[in-house]
Amino acid sequence: MTKTYARLTPLADSLPSTVPFVGPETQERARGRAFAARLGANENTFGPSPKVIAAMSEAAGGAWMYGDPENFDLRHALADHHGIAPETILVGEGIDGILGYLVRLIIGPGDKVVTSQGAYPTFNYHVAGFGGVLETVPYQDDHEDPEALIAKATEVGAKLVYIANPDNPMGTWHDAETIQRMIDAVPEGCLLVLDEAYIEFAPEGTAPTLNTDDPRVIRMRTFSKAYGMAGARVGYAIGQAELITAFNKIRNHFGMCRISQAGALAALKDQPYLAQVVANVADARARIDQIAQDNGLTTLPSATNFVAVDCGRDAEFAKAVLDQLIAQDMFVRMPFATPQNRCIRISAGQPEELDVFAAVLPKALAAARA
């Protein structure tokens, strides 16, 4: 009998069978026990509004139906919330899913894409998956460097240039004027991907004014972070209507679960709960900073729901600290690139979760130093 097999494309065959992040569940299975504190994935452990849980529970009875492929109600609610036209909003399966659609829409084999070395790796994963060529520039003082990104995009004729503001993995940010200058400097034929996943946590004056007539930028937002719905996978993009409409050529039209759509609608309506979460996260960031100081460490200023803790040495030492924290049942992560990988990254969790961090950090540091 003839043996058959899947014939991968040469591009797919050349790629490693890896994922950008190893999940805590994978680590728990390997360890044979659960983590006591899950503070490594930038999740909002304060969770969604009770109104979100109620709306999703009610919608679960209709799970036999596909979700609305146009995301009509959610797009119109977001349009009202932001004061823009619904035709300028795309809803998709988290920012990760939308980034994949964007790269598929714009990048072909050999096309140049610019990002920061050590910035959000899932974007790079999509670029590699469609044959794009990634060009990187270093961070400057633990911030992504808008001027260097634009200069590199101009130099190589990039079709996309990516920046997160606030940044992942460092938590730093630029003000709106700096980002607007970056938008204004985008070279001909290039599109700026402005990832604003953490914007609800950022100070006033971080986000430029929404201008959906500007063809040079597409902005990414999410319900995963401040709204506490990471597991529901609801993100959205804001851009010029012509570009947003183009996504209909390639997107998964039934990708959005109706339960997630209902939850996002309820989250958007409960702005008082959002404000409370933002306040809770600010308190948690201050607590992480104090715990770090109590152990002779420093932190980077953060406009996100996590804090980069500077371990004060090199990547080898930071990895040793991280490994010791994991050994003591605390899930954390660290940046991938030098010199940012001298840090570990701690999610702004609930008080009892940070109690675990406070208890295990001295032991982890002692073991790493030994």
> pTM for the full model?
0.96
Cα 132 from Cα 126, distance rounded (Å): 9
Q: What percent of the chain has pLDDT over 70?
A: 99
| Mean pLDDT, residues 309-338 taken together | 97
**pLDDT of 22 above 90:** no
Q: Residues with Cβ < 8 Å from 179, sequence gap 6 or more? A: 146, 163, 165, 194, 207, 208
> 146-190 pLDDT, tens per residue?
999 999 999 999 999 999 999 999 999 999 999 999 999 999 999
| Mean pLDDT, residues 130-151 taken together | 98
pLDDT band at 17 (very low <50, low <70, confident <90, very high): confident
> 73-115 pLDDT, tens per residue?
999 999 999 999 999 999 999 999 999 999 999 999 999 999 9
**Burial (Cβ within 10 Å: 0-12, 13-18, ≥19) of residue 330:** buried
Question: How confident is the model at residue 223, as a pLDDT?
Answer: 98
Q: How does DSSP assign 278-300, residue by residue?
A: HHHHHHHHHHHHHHHHHTT-EE-
| Mean pLDDT, residues 28-32 taken together | 93
Q: Which two tokens stand for residue 215?
A: 């063809």
**pLDDT of 116 above 90:** yes
**pLDDT of 266 above 80:** yes
pLDDT band at 72 (very low <50, low <70, confident <90, very high): very high
Question: How confident is the model at residue 21, as a pLDDT?
Answer: 82
**Higher-confidence position of 23 and 203:** 203
Question: How confident is the model at residue 45, as a pLDDT?
Answer: 97
> 238-251 pLDDT, tens per residue?
999 999 999 999 99
Q: Residues with Cβ < 8 Å from 329, sequence gap 6 or more? A: 33, 34, 35, 36, 37, 356, 360
Q: Quick one: how many helices (H) and strands (E) in the chain?
A: 13, 12
Domains in the chain: ranges and CATH: 22-46+272-369 (3.90.1150.10), 50-269 (3.40.640.10)
**pLDDT of 1 above 70:** no
Give the mean pLDDT of the chain.
97
**Burial (Cβ within 10 Å: 0-12, 13-18, ≥19) of residue 148:** middle
Question: How confident is the model at residue 2, as a pLDDT?
Answer: 67
> 269-305 pLDDT, tens per residue?
999 999 999 999 999 999 999 999 999 999 999 999 9
> 207-250 pLDDT, tens per residue?
999 999 999 999 999 999 999 999 999 999 999 999 999 999 99
**Which whole-number Å values give the CA distances from 264 to 74, 88, 227, 244, in the listed order?**
7, 18, 8, 20
Question: How confident is the model at residue 184, as a pLDDT?
Answer: 98
